[in-house]
């Protein structure tokens, strides 16, 4: 009997205490510094973009910023569930083509075809080369399977969060062309990396201007 009388009272008092706890939490958050940035005047720093998954981009070779590490194995195109990756691949020159039947025997006899190929191979190694890497970003669901599957880590998520465009076609990205522009684009530490079509899309420059104007205006 007594327990049933006092139980709800104790419960109510505990409830009141939890209300005070809640107020204390929001009160403390109120006093803390803000986490948002005043966007046109400030941009998010690179540290905050760690792990940001923008559209995919090609990773260049260590010694050559213009050439992707891609070996044109097509696994990314095959695994993409949204079917938004299209590669154009240039097959090796004729001598290498002649060697192709030998490739089937790689498993059984590794020595002969290799020696044969090196003899025939042109200077670039006779490998397949990617000549175009198209990404239809309107279809991409950013699942990251292509990044995971790439055997030579030639794909990664970009930190390009300022992607915007007036047409659907603006999001049909040519990643190879983008890679060629990448050295000119701002370094990661300075803010957004170049977009798909920087001359149209990259918002960085106008906003820098606005910064100067806004500073005087306010």
CB 130, min distance to other proteins, A: 44
Which of 142, 161, 178 has its CA nearest to residue 46? Answer: 161
Stretch that binds other proteins, among 26-34, 110-118, 144-152, 178-186 (CB under 8 A): 26-34
- Residue 176 to residue 181: CA distance in whole angstroms: 9
Region for 51 from its dihedrals, namely left if φ exceeds 0, alpha if ψ lies in -120 to 50, beta otherwise: left
* Total residues interacting with other proteins, rule: CB under 8 A: 16
Closer CB to other proteins, 119 or 218, in the complex: 218
Residue from 13, 19, 98, 187 in contact with other proteins (CB under 8 A): 19
Q: Which of residues 33-62 bind other proteins (CB under 8 A)?
A: 33-36, 38
Q: Does 65 bind other proteins (CB under 8 A)?
A: no
| Least distance CB 35 / other proteins (angstroms) | 5
- Residue 26 or 167: the one with the smaller Cβ distance to other proteins is 26
| Residues binding other proteins (CB under 8 A) | 12, 19, 22-23, 25-27, 29-30, 32-36, 38, 218
């Amino acid at each position: 009997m007594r327990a049933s009388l006092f139980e709800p009272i104790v419960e109510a008092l505990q409830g009141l205490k939890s209300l005070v706890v809640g107020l204390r939490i929001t009160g403390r958050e109120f006093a803390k510094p803000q986490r948002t940035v005043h966007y046109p005047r400030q941009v998010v720093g690179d540290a905050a973009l760690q792990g940001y998954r923008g559209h995919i981009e090609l990773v260049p070779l260590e010694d050559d910023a213009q050439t992707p590490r891609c070996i044109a194995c097509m696994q990314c195109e095959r695994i993409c569930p949204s079917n938004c990756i299209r590669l154009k691949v240039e097959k090796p020159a004729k001598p290498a083509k002649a060697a192709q039947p030998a490739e089937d025997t790689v498993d059984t006899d590794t020595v002969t075809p290799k020696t044969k190929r090196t003899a025939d191979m042109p200077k670039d190694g006779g490998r397949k080369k990617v000549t175009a890497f198209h990404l239809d970003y309107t279809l991409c669901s950013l699942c990251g399977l292509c990044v995971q599957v790439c055997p030579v880590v030639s794909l990664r998520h970009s930190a390009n969060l300022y992607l915007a465009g007036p047409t659907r076609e603006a999001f049909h990205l040519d990643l190879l062309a983008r890679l060629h522009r990448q050295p000119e684009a701002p370094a990661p530490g300075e803010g957004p990396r170049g977009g798909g079509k920087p001359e149209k899309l990259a918002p960085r420059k106008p906003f820098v201007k606005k910064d100067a104007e806004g500073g005087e205006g306010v």
